[in-house]
Amino acid sequence: MIPKNLQYTKEHEWVKIDGSVATIGITQHAQSELGDIVFVEMPEIGKAVTQLKEFGVVESVKTVSNLYAPLSGTVEAVNELLSDKPETINKDPYGEGWIIKVALADKNEVKKLLSAEAYEKVIASA
C-alpha cells in the first residue's frame, strides 16, 4: 500500500506537503524491512536539515538505519510520541508514525521527489 497523495525518496522516506510545511516519515516498505522499531533519534526543533542528508536514525531489533531529509528546511516539530512508543512507526507509518515536520526552504526541491508510481518501481527493482 503506497499512498498516492504522498511523495517519496529512493531512501524510503515519504513526504506530505501542506503549504510550506513538509511532514516526513518512513514508508511501509522501510518499516517492514527494518522489523520492530525500538528507538528513533530525531533532530531538535529549529535544526536545519538539507535535502538527501542524514537527519536522524531509526533503530530496530535487526539493524540501525539512517534517516535522510527528502527536502531542506528547518525542523518545526518532532513526533514526541515516538520517544515512548517508537513502534508506532510499525503500526501506522503514514499516520501517527510521522517523524518530523519541516518548514520548507526551497519548494523547487519537491521536483526531485518520486511519485507513488515511481516509488513502486524502486521497490520492485530492489
pLDDT of residue 6: 98
In angstroms, the CA 50 to CA 68 distance is 9
C-alpha cell at 82: 515516538
120: in domain = no
The three-class DSSP label of residue 109 is helix
Q: What pTM did the predictor assign?
A: 0.96
Q: What average pLDDT does the chain have?
A: 97
In angstroms, the CA 94 to CA 84 distance is 18
Q: How does residue 10 score in pLDDT terms, banded at 50, 70 and 90?
A: very high
Runs of H (alpha helix) within the chain: 28-34, 81-84, 88-91, 116-124
Domain count, the chain: 1
Q: What percent of the chain has pLDDT over 70?
A: 100
113: in domain = no
Phi/psi region, residue 73 (left: phi>0; alpha: psi -120 to 50; beta: rest), is left
117: in domain = no
pLDDT of residue 65: 96
For residue range 13-67, list pLDDT tens digits in order: 999 999 999 999 999 999 999 999 999 999 999 999 999 999 999 999 999 999 9
Q: What percent of the chain has pLDDT over 90?
A: 98
pLDDT of residue 26: 98
95: in domain = yes
118: in domain = no
Residue 80's domain comprises: 7-107
Q: For the chain, where are the E strands, in sequence order?
A: 7-8, 13-18, 21-26, 37-41, 48-49, 54-60, 64-68, 73-78, 100-104
121: in domain = no
C-alpha cell at 31: 518499516
pLDDT of residue 126: 78
116: in domain = no
Averaged pLDDT for residues 77-97:
98
What CATH number does residue 47 fall under? 2.40.50.100
pLDDT of residue 119: 98
12: in domain = yes
**pLDDT of 87 strictly over 90:** yes
